[in-house]
Structure formats: structure tokens, C-alpha cells
Structure 1
């Protein structure tokens, strides 16, 4: 992947994460939406988008992982309820840390060693 493309995709990803924090805050601010309903809407719309992307690519969705799905539901619900009392900055920091941890913990728990490049990316993040 070319460096300009990598930088653009990284910028888009960071923008999406920041927008996610802002949208969560707006939806839950002053109880405009119940946290449980917000979580249901958020996860359902994400699942529908993944199905749509699979259809566009003419591939069938892969077999799911119920443990991962339950962890995602717990994470989504916890964040939705936490956003009622967390500041936006704290919420965004926790969100970024949770994503990094969820990507790096499984290989480390399996005993794999991470390349120096991945450790550098973690420190940079």
C-alpha cells in the first residue's frame, strides 16, 4: 500500500472514531435516547452495513463468533451507559485504548510476539 493511501485511510479512520464519540454524545445528551435503545440501533446498523458490504463484494458473510458478538454487545452497552457520565475526552481516550487492546491482546495471550513495527504503532497510537 502506498504511503499517501495509508495516510488517507488512517486519517479517515481517526475521523470516524472522533465522529463516533461526538455522535454518541449527541444521541445520549440530556437523555435524547435511551442507552439500551442506542446500543441496539448502533449494533444493528453496523451489522446491516457489514451485510451490505459483503453483498457488494459478492461474498457471503463468514461464520460468526458468538463469544465475540457477546463481547461487542457488552462493550457497546457499557459505553452507551458510561457516556451518560463520562466527558467526551475521557470517552474518546477509553474508546481508542479499548480498540488497541482488543487488537493486540489476543495474539499476545496466544503467546505470539509482536513485530517491532506493531509495538511502535501501539506507542504512537
Structure 2
């Protein structure tokens, strides 16, 4: 599985649902993807096929035909796609500013004590790296 390429189009919400399934389970058929979707994401078989083909065209999946069955495999790893999507979001919404993102998130989420410890450790590591 390769790294995220800069020219990949962003994923739609439903494409994320499909990709998460494939990242979790590996190589899948359209039927396997369809049957594994939560009730709120159920779609017709032909709709799933269309989305899978679109993901092949976008470069996120590769298709392998064995007999009459198409198998779909991710061509990019999840962490690379998440990193790209997150960077795009932070740049678009917060002008690339991590502090503006944090200022928005902190009052709007329910931080647990262990979350605070992890964040403190991450900040300390970032501080140590940047001098």
C-alpha cells in the first residue's frame, strides 16, 4: 500500500465509510462491502459498485477481476489519507493555525483527565523537538 498522493480528490462522507471498511478488512468484493455497512449506510448493490468504481478512478482503490468477481484493495494507507484530509481541513477552516484549531476544539469537547495528560505530553515533546 502506497502513501497518499497529493493529487487525490477528497473523499465524500460515504466514500470514507467504504474506505474505512476496506482499510479494516482488506480486499473486499462489492457484496462484502454492502453487507458490512451499518443500517444507516445501506445502499443498493449497484450504488456500492458505482462508489467502488469511483474510488478506483480517484486512485484510492485498485480492482482485480477473478472470474466474474471484482475485488477491491486500498492503494493508499488510512493514516496518509487522514493526514491529508486533516491538513486540508485545518488549512481551509483555520488558516493552517494549530492554535486556532485548539482554541476552537478545547471548549467544545469533553476532555477526560487522561486526554489532558496525553495532550500535555504531546506538547512537551513538540516543545523539546522545536527547542
After TM superposition, the score normalised by the length of structure 2 is 0.29
Choose between structure 1 and 2: higher strand proportion.
Answer: 2
Which protein, 1 or 2, shows the higher relative CO under an 8 Å CA cutoff with sep ≥ 6? Answer: 1
Choose between structure 1 and 2: higher helix proportion.
Answer: 1
After TM superposition, the score normalised by the length of structure 1 is 0.30
